[in-house]
Amino acid sequence: MKTSTIKFLFRSYFLASKGFLKLAKQFQSSLWNIWELPLLSSKLKTVYCKSLVDRITSKVRHWTCRTLSYAGQVQLINSVLFSIQVYWASLFLLPGQVIKNVEQIMKSFLRSGLDMRTTGAKVAWDQVCLPKKEGGSGIKRITEWNKIALLKHIWNLCNDLDGSIWSTWIRSNLLRGRNFWTIKTLENCSWAWRKILKLRSLAWPKMKYIIEDGMTTSLWFDNWHPYSPLADSYEERFIYDSSIEKNVKVNVLIHNLEWKIPTTQAIGWHPIVEAIPSNSNPKMGQKDEIVWLDSSNHRFSVKVAWEQLRIHRQMVEWHDIVWFKNVVPRHSFLLWMAVQHKLTTQDRLHRFGIHGPNRCSLYLRNNEDHNRLFFECSYTKAIWWDVCDRCDIPRMTKGWDEWIRWATITWHGKSFVNFSRKLSFAATVHHVWQE
């Protein structure tokens, strides 16, 4: 056998073995997640989630790097700590105490790194957990994310294309031919099912039924008509006078591929039929479709639902000079704190009860605050003027807040000149603070 052939076989075997080991590790990881999940039909209590909290705590304790910047800590929170609870939060509505414990670990890690101190927060956690465009750092609140992630169960139940065992069992044992949107929450139903039913109000406005043959969409209770649900738009008396049962489908309004007024009762049905969009003509032989509104592919995804259903705050004007593309993360994070006057300057330490010489740390004169440290100090003023000359920025004697407002308006856009100015501004703030 030729040497080249032997090398080829050895390389193939090595790659195959490596791929098998990688697959085995992934399988083991998934099994680990499954084994950790509690198997229960009663309420999910805090004690049942101890393994989740312990695993997140253990992950933090085993990190050995003590030189992480704040930006590095935020990255680890988003990519590791937040991801650990994703599997649980997508299956259960986590107890409030568990969410509080998990977020407390994240807060402590962001505040003091591996020391995990619970004091010394520079920015309020509510502010940290906002999108970057709204003045936050991009960390998600678990309470909101947990509810939105569970909406996939409602989507899978109403739009079951694969015929999963779970959705089939739900229809056979819990729904029993009744409409999902109107079924009442019984006292003897399971805790998990009760939590799913409470989330219907979140999913309802975003799930729209597209009529094809009308065989599977409820006439009175599903969201298919501009007046939907018809049962809410019209009184119980109208349903009774129509002589149409509550469990009928939309196909009672379809005849020869056209929308027709029911022959049983014509009074009052004219505005209902006329309000149906002209482009929604029935199509026989095709099943009704459910779409998620404002989604590019009309399918549900946690990412799209998160942007739609989360609580939105007012967008801040300065986000573009802090979180721009290709920014140095540690520079950007420190600038984010400086813009909000959250750096521990001497004036803030005095407000916290930490008394010391309230003097500029660089010039050793005057009282130290954000404005004086970065722009009024003779030491930093010389640095700023040198940076302005190099970046073609006019020398100005503006204060900190005036600088931010001016930069937000002037450096708007993605040109290389504006990019270099924003990059230099963030780097200068970072190095002045480090000094």
What lies within 8 Å, CB to CB, of 225 at 6+ separation is: 272, 275, 276
Cβ distance 421 to 409 under 8 Å? Answer: no
What are the pLDDT digits (tens) for 403-412? Answer: 888 888 888 8
CA–CA gap between residue 123 and residue 433 (Å, rounded): 17
pLDDT at 64: 60
Q: What's the token pair of residue 294?
A: 């404002």
Stretch 207-219: mean pLDDT, rounded? 90
Question: Contact, 289 vs 279, CB < 8 A?
Answer: no
Q: How far, in Å, CA of 246 to CA of 222, rounded? A: 11
The percent of residues above 70 in pLDDT, for the chain, comes to 80
| pTM to 2 decimal places | 0.79
SS3 state at 410: helix
Query: Could you read off the pLDDT of 332-341 as tens digits, one per residue?
Result: 999 998 888 8
336 close to 404: Cβ distance less than 8 angstroms: no
| 380 touches 387 (CB < 8 A) | no
- 49 is written with which tokens? 């989630």
Say whether pLDDT at 145 is over 90. Answer: yes
**Backbone angles phi and psi of 180, in degrees to 5:** -65, -35
pLDDT band at 161, cuts 50/70/90? low
Model pLDDT for residues 82-119, shown as the tens digit of each residue: 988 888 888 889 999 999 999 998 988 887 666 666 66
Residue 31 is predicted with a pLDDT of: 40
SS3 207: strand
Read off the pLDDT of residues 361-382 as tens digits, 9 standing for 90 and up.
665 566 666 777 777 777 888 8
pLDDT tens per residue across span 46-64: 888 888 898 888 888 777 6
Is the pLDDT at 352 greater than 50? The verdict is: yes
> Which one of 10-19, 49-58, 253-262 scores highest in mean pLDDT?
49-58
Contact indicator for 219, 225 with CB cutoff of 8 Å:
no
Buried b (16+ CB within 10 A) or exposed e, 308-336: bbbeeeeebebbbbbbbeebeebbbbbbb
* Pairing status of strand 289-292 against strand 258-259: unpaired
**Is the pLDDT score of 350 beyond 80?**
no
